[in-house]
């Protein structure tokens, strides 16, 4: 959702007036259509008659549901002078304020209101990403629909009425190779100057838990300590040689007051643990969207070539399985500690097995989670995967967790971790337990 940086210069962002945004959105729709026509081998295919992403029919994402409640008079967002509808919106969408992370680089469509003195705030939960910038006349939201993936909205900060509109303009940057060629959440790491303008991107960076910390969070504020690790947060670049910079002082910052006025924000932090989870969950959501799209297109074309359809489902399934089981996670050299209650609050909502274990438990010493299996296995996006994909995943997941898979990619998953994940899923994921029962697995 953050850092929409492409070949164009968005240092001042696209136009912010309602009329201008509508014209801008129409133009991007035409660009988006052209992208679809030109794509070769991407997941969102040229005609888009299967996904119908641009249609709003049947959407069930949280913002669409909230808007329906507002229109029916069942819910009302409350406006406040300093933050507009932000606090009320987060409450209605069940987004914790402790999830706040702060971006100071001018790399989003709110760039005109973003700077090192006025960073843009991102808040999130499992299904919603909210972007707020001081003084801007709209709030930016990405809301996850279980069948279509992220749907992008703007909410006008007008005191009279919070108008919620689907924003096609976001698709200029939120579909492409870095989002796996599906509509996706886009996080960037850039080298930003003291005025916030990006002068370059971290080479090869694609958001996710596979990046070493030394490549993450360029253009972001980060509050926390990181053991032996360093990162690019809290650092500014002006013709300096990055390779020669000592990043340790800027990597262990526990207070952000020296950078900007933190009293203007809901909390004074940009918590490193919240950022770590955001890195994981954003990429995981994109891969879930890819898995759904690939399966639906495979099923659509399976009459032409059943073998190709099976292979297409398997390829997407293996990509999802590998990321879900953290097989490409970059090692940490902790302990890593945040500066808010996020690390304490986050595990509380996790489903627990009979031994009290949860996939939301954090490690923060050598890896992100104590049990290396993504908690988004409980998400609506996972549950709404086509049956063919879920059946494939259950079979492969059972095979891997039982130690029957000899591929080197999964050999680093220790017997202890396999056993723990298997037991947790049997107790907390009824569909997996039922699949195992039907196939005679213990």
130 occurs within a structural domain: yes
CA distance 350 to 355: 13
> Do 182 and 80 have their domain in common?
yes
Question: What pLDDT is stored for residue 112 in this prediction?
Answer: 84
pLDDT the model gives residue 240: 67
Question: 21-25, 40-44, 332-336, 408-412: which has the minimum mean pLDDT?
Answer: 21-25
For residue 1, the model assigns a pLDDT of: 46
* pLDDT higher than threshold 90 for residue 395: yes
Over residues 412-429, the pLDDT tens digits come to 899 999 999 999 999 999
3 state DSSP class of 206: coil
Do 123 and 235 fall within a single domain? yes
Length of the chain: 442
Same domain, 186 and 329: no
Is 413 domain-assigned? yes
| 233 plus 297 within the same structural domain | no
Residue 371 lies in a domain: yes
Q: Is the pLDDT of residue 342 over 60?
A: yes
Residue 272 lies in a domain: no
Q: Are residues 296 and 248 part of one domain?
A: no
Q: Does residue 259 sit in the same domain as residue 374?
A: no
Q: Do 368 and 244 belong to one domain?
A: no
Q: Mind giving me the DSSP string for 301-349? A: HTTT-HHHHHHHHHHHHHHHHHHHTTTTPPP--S-EE-SSSHHHHGGGG
**Domain around 342:** 282-438
Q: Are 123 and 154 part of one and the same domain? A: yes
Provide the domain count of the chain: 2
Q: What's residue 48's pLDDT? A: 74
Write down the mean pLDDT value for the chain: 87
The answer to whether residue 30 scores a pLDDT higher than 60 is no
State the average pLDDT over residues 189-195.
93
Does residue 411 register a pLDDT over 90? no
| Paired strand residues for 192 | 198
Same domain, 182 and 320: no
Q: Are both 239 and 299 inside the same structural domain?
A: no
296 part of a folded domain: yes
Q: Is residue 12 part of a domain?
A: no
Of 168-182, 205-219, 297-311, 332-346, which range is least confident? Answer: 168-182
My answer on whether 152 and 291 are in the same domain is no
- Token pair 């001081």 is found at 134
pLDDT over 80 at 23, yes or no: no
Q: What is the pLDDT of residues 272-325, one digit of tens each?
A: 999 999 999 999 999 999 999 999 999 998 888 889 999 999 999 999 999 999
Task: Identify the domain boundary among 237, 264, 291.
Answer: 264
Domain annotation covers residue 99: yes
Strand arrangement of the beta sheet that strand 164-166 belongs to: 164-166, 149-156, 138-145, 128-132, 120-124, 101-103, 220-221
User: Residues 258, 290: one domain?
Assistant: no
Give the pLDDT confidence score for residue 10 in this predicted structure. Answer: 26
Residue 22 has pLDDT above 50, yes or no: no
Flag whether 8 is in a domain. Answer: no
Distance CA 260, CA 281 (A): 28
């Amino acid at each position: 959702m953050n850092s929409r940086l492409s070949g164009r210069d968005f240092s001042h962002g696209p136009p912010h007036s309602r009329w201008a945004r509508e014209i801008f959105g129409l133009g991007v729709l035409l660009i988006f259509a052209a992208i679809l026509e030109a794509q070769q081998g991407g997941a969102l295919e040229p005609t888009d008659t299967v996904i119908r992403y641009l249609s709003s029919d049947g959407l069930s994402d949280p913002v669409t549901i909230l808007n329906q409640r507002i229109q029916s008079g069942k819910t009302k967002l409350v406006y406040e002078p300093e933050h507009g509808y932000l606090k009320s919106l987060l409450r209605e969408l069940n987004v914790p304020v402790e999830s706040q992370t702060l971006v100071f680089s001018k790399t989003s469509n709110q760039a005109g209101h973003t700077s090192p003195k006025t960073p843009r705030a991102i808040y999130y939960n499992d299904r919603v990403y909210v972007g707020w910038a001081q003084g801007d006349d709209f709030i930016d939201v990405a809301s996850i629909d279980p069948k279509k993936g992220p749907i992008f909205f703007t909410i006008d900060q007008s005191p009279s009425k919070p108008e919620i509109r689907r924003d096609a303009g976001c698709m200029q940057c939120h579909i492409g190779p870095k989002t796996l060629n599906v509509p996706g959440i886009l996080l960037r790491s850039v080298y930003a100057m003291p005025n916030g303008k990006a002068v370059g991107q971290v080479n090869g960076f694609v958001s996710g838990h596979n990046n070493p910390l030394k490549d993450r969070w360029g253009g972001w504020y980060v509050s926390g300590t990181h053991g032996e690790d360093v990162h690019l947060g809290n650092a500014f670049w002006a013709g300096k040689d990055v390779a020669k910079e000592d990043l340790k002082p800027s990597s262990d910052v526990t207070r952000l007051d020296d950078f900007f006025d933190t009293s203007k924000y809901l909390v004074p932090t940009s918590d490193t643990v919240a950022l770590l989870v955001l890195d994981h969950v954003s990429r995981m959501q994109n891969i879930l969207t890819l898995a759904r799209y690939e399966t639906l297109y495979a099923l659509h074309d399976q009459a032409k070539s059943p073998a190709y359809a099976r292979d297409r489902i398997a390829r997407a399934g293996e990509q999802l399985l590998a990321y879900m089981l953290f097989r490409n996670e970059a090692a940490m050299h902790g302990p890593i500690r945040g500066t808010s209650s996020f690390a304490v609050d986050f595990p509380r909502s996790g489903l627990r097995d009979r031994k009290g274990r949860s996939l939301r438990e954090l490690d923060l010493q050598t890896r992100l989670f104590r049990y290396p299996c993504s908690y988004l296995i409980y998400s609506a996006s996972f549950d709404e995967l086509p049956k063919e994909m879920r059946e494939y995943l259950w079979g492969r997941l059972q095979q891997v967790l039982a130690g029957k898979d000899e591929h080197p990619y999964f050999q680093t998953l220790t017997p202890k971790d396999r056993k723990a994940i298997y037991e947790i899923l049997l107790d907390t994921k009824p569909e997996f337990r039922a699949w195992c029962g039907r196939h005679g697995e213990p």
